[in-house]
Amino acid sequence: MNLSVELAGVILKHPIYNASGPLCTTPQDLEGLANSQSSAVLTKSCTILPREGNPTPRYADFEGGSINSMGLPNLGVDTYLKILPSIKVPGKPVFVSSSGMSFEDQVEIVTRLSMSAELQAIELNLSCPNLVGKPQIGYDFDQSQKLIHAASKVCKHPLGVKLPPYFDFSHFQSMADILNEADIQYITCINSPGNGLVIDAETETTLIRPKNGFGGIGGPIIKPFGLSNVCKFRELLDPGIQIVGVGGIETGMDVFEYILAGADAVQVGTAYMQQGPEIFERLVRELTQVMTRKGYASLSQFRGKLKVA
Ligand code: RRO
């Protein structure tokens, strides 16, 4: 069974690694990933300066998923650059997510990351839903175009773009037109659909505190939108732009579905948060079992081959 995949010119042993967000902020988190069966290590989105993030409670599980309003807590780009050598494992690429607080910050972070040879790709986050007073850039097509262009000009590593979910075909087309003109290697979709609200009816209280309880939604409840975004972008993007799928993956069968919809690789967020680094071994085993049962020997035999009923 061959599960290997080339993503942005980098070889992954298999297509499953962590999403930026849960358990990838501290050196301990990143070591946990380095020592796990995750096929890559992706950091929490970093800003120029360290950030505490939003007040707690800012993450909660609920039936069907999770809600978060972390507010970009991270150690700052320079600390990540220092940590990177210590989380290096042979055969396991390290990716860094960047999420500056302004246009200029984003370009500066990509510039600093580009000076390091300790990372293999940069994931430019256009879609944090939880910053008070800051709209998601991914929903502003003009700003997205300008930022992707500016970041790609200074970027010396393969560049990926983390997108928010889109729900209208005209929006998919607008973003795809921008991406097809850009110098990027892959997209990652989807970030948490923003500004959901989950309520504890017993206590008549929101589950989280920031933004009056509004937050990004993760977990199985968002999988249909992760799949639709992967599938639609695969249809609209030039074949040279790869797609990393994320949203609600809990089993090897979920991974199979994302690849069938057109994903080159996948990330795991909420389920990794809930189950820890052991989850990657189970997901690889389950994907292998699904492929064996269906008679597939490699991912390319079914990638993007979704049939319409
Ligand atoms: O830190 C967060 O609140 C956060 C980020 Br940067 C993101 O991109 N997506 C998300 O659900 N939470």
Each residue's pLDDT, cut to its tens digit, for the chain (309 residues) gives: 899 999 999 999 999 999 999 999 999 999 999 999 999 999 999 999 999 999 999 999 999 999 999 999 999 999 999 999 999 999 999 999 999 899 999 999 999 999 999 999 999 999 998 888 888 999 999 999 999 999 999 999 999 999 999 999 999 999 999 999 999 999 999 999 999 999 999 999 999 999 999 999 999 999 999 999 999 999 999 999 999 999 999 999 999 999 999 999 999 999 999 999 999 999 999 999 999 999 999 999 999 999 999
Domains and CATH numbers, the chain: 5-55+71-194+218-301 (3.20.20.70)
How remote is the CA of residue 236 from the centroid of ligand 1, in Å? Answer: 26
pTM of the model: 0.98
* Terminal C-alpha separation, the chain: 29
Closest residue by CA, ligand 1 atom 4: 128
Q: Which residues contact 298 (CB under 8 A, 6 or more apart)?
A: 1, 2, 3
244: closest CA among 188, 307, 170, 290? 188
Whole-number Cα distances in Å, 150 to 78, 104, 143: 21, 9, 10
Q: What is the pLDDT of residue 277?
A: 98
Segments in 94-220 forming alpha helices (H): 103-114, 141-154, 169-181
In this structure, the residue with its CA closest to atom 9 of ligand 1 is 128
For residue 191, what are the contacts with CB-CB under 8 A and spacing of at least 6?
A: 125, 127, 128, 129, 138, 162, 163, 164, 165, 216, 246
- Give every CB contact of residue 278 below 8 A, 6+ residues apart in sequence: 36
Atom of ligand 1 minimally distant from the CA of 53: 1
Atom of ligand 1 nearest to the CA of 73: 1
Catalytic choice (128, 155, 189, 231): 128
Atom of ligand 1 nearest to the CA of 191: 9
26 vs 83: CA distance, rounded Å: 9
The residue type found at 307 is K
- State whether the Cα torsion 210-55-113-242 is positive or negative: negative
Q: How far is the CA of 50 from the centre of ligand 1 (A)?
A: 15
Which residues, at least 6 apart from 227, have a Cβ–Cβ distance to it below 8 Å?
245, 247, 257, 258, 261
Rounded Cα gap, residues 27 and 22, in angstroms: 13
Q: Which residues line ligand 1 (CB under 6 A)?
A: 21, 45, 68-72, 99, 125, 127-130, 191-192, 216
Ligand 1 centroid to 68 CA: how many Å? Answer: 7
Q: Tell me, in angstroms, the distance from the centre of ligand 1 to residue 301's CA.
A: 34
Furthest CA-CA distance within the chain: 52
Element housing 60 (H / E): strand 59-62
Question: What is the atom index within ligand 1 of the atom nearest the CA of 215?
Answer: 11
User: What's the rounded Cα separation, in Å, for the pair 176 and 180?
Assistant: 6
